């Protein structure tokens, strides 16, 4: 736990960006969501309807187990309130866009991964704001911080609807209406948007490098244990319900790979969190670390044939 004075410094620090910079960030995430939607098909949702047990276990791991583990972790580690708020926000976001690729490398159930990603991404319009509001209210320091910034969950709904909901609908409509055009643009859009977003995270850290250096040794431990609890909690939850090995791997990855990009967009929005420093550094490091941990666990699992 950081000294109280340092926590107060971090909680009060706001990492502001120019209006143009924030617009670029919003547009980049919207383009990423549009690219994701180009690959979504009705069959992705139909599979979960046909196999509701896998769907319920996977979705409950995402929306129940991860926030619950996050609550336990903040009580144990007692991070600065703004950091704890960042942890709750990351835990409330949908699965990350690279989870399907990591599930493939890990010899998981890729069809289940794609279906869970599709549903959680669409559900995030409502689930992210209200999951975040509920769980952050259960930890007194974050509950007090939420009251201080007077945040309304419906403000987050409107933001997510704009940067995720609309691009998803437009992307799915485009894929259905113009399949040939979609096939040509899907890969370039994904590659370009992810490159831009990665560059944005690097620039954001570089601009605030002094702040980053002061706290990185502390924050990296929080992110490490938070991500470990997500991966381990998802795997244990699937194991508890006696899921097959491929499904256990997939649910672990879907729980441990979070859309921290969405978290960053919300954090830097001037009408929401105003670039709160503790939240921003948690989300930014999550965006880097979960790729390293996900690829590492995939490399291990790729060498172990899952039992039937």
CA-to-CA distance for 177 and 198, rounded, in angstroms?
31
pLDDT for the residue numbered 162: 83
In a domain? residue 307: no
In a domain? residue 308: no
pLDDT for the residue numbered 92: 94
pLDDT of 34 > 90? The answer is no
pLDDT for the residue numbered 2: 58
pLDDT for the residue numbered 7: 74
In a domain? residue 305: no
In a domain? residue 13: yes
In a domain? residue 303: no
More confident residue, 224 or 308: 224
More confident residue, 181 or 275: 181
Residue 76 sits in which domain range?
A: 4-298
φ and ψ at residue 14, rounded to 5 degrees: -120, 125
pLDDT of 52 > 80? The answer is yes
- pTM as predicted: 0.88
Q: Mean pLDDT of all residues in the chain?
A: 84
- Give the count of domains, the chain: 1
In a domain? residue 18: yes
pLDDT for the residue numbered 242: 93
Q: Is residue 306 packed enough to be buried (19+ CB in 10 Å), middle (13-18) or exposed (0-12)? A: middle
Q: What is the pLDDT of residues 56-80, one digit of tens each?
A: 999 999 999 999 999 999 999 999 8
pLDDT for the residue numbered 42: 73
User: Minimum mean pLDDT among 19-23, 125-129, 142-146, 304-308: which range?
Assistant: 19-23
Nearest to 143 by CA among 39, 237, 45, 71: 71
pLDDT for the residue numbered 93: 93
Q: What is the pLDDT of residues 85-134, one digit of tens each?
A: 999 999 999 987 788 889 988 998 888 888 888 889 888 988 999 999 99
Q: How confident is the model at residue 50 (pLDDT cuts 50, 70, 90)?
A: confident
pLDDT for the residue numbered 5: 62
More confident residue, 42 or 290: 290
In a domain? residue 304: no
Q: What is the CATH number of the domain that holds 259?
A: 1.20.1530.20
Q: What is the pLDDT of residues 145-195, one digit of tens each?
A: 888 777 777 888 888 888 888 888 888 888 888 888 888 887 787 777 667
In a domain? residue 219: yes
């Amino acid at each position: 736990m950081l000294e109280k004075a340092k926590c107060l410094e971090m909680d009060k620090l706001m990492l502001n960006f120019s209006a143009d910079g924030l617009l670029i960030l919003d547009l980049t995430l919207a383009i990423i969501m549009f690219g994701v939607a180009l690959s979504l098909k009705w069959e992705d949702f139909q599979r979960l309807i046909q196999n509701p047990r896998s769907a319920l276990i996977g979705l409950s791991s995402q929306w129940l187990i991860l926030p619950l583990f996050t609550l336990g972790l903040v009580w144990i580690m007692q991070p600065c309130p703004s950091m704890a708020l960042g942890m709750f926000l990351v835990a409330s976001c949908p699965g990350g866009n690279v989870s399907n690729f990591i599930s493939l490398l890990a010899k998981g159930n890729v069809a289940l991964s794609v279906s869970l990603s599709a549903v959680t991404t669409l559900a995030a319009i409502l689930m992210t704001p209200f999951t975040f509001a509920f769980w952050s209210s259960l930890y007194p320091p974050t509950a007090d911080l939420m009251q201080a910034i007077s945040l309304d969950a419906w403000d987050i709904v409107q933001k997510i609807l704009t940067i995720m909901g609309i691009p998803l609908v437009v992307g799915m409509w485009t894929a259905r209406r113009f399949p040939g055009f979609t096939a040509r643009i899907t890969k370039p859009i994904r590659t370009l948007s992810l490159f831009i977003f990665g560059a944005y995270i690097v620039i954001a850290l570089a601009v605030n490098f002094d702040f980053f250096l002061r706290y990185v040794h502390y924050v990296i431990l929080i992110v490490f244990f938070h991500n470990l609890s997500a991966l381990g909690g998802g795997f244990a939850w699937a194991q508890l319900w006696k899921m097959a090995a491929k499904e256990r791997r997939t649910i672990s990855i879907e729980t441990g790979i979070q859309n921290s990009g969405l978290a960053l967009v919300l954090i830097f929005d001037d009408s929401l969190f105003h670039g709160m420093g503790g939240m921003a550094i948690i989300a930014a490091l999550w965006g880097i670390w979960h790729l390293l941990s996900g690829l590492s666990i995939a490399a291990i699992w790729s060498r172990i044939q899952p039992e039937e």
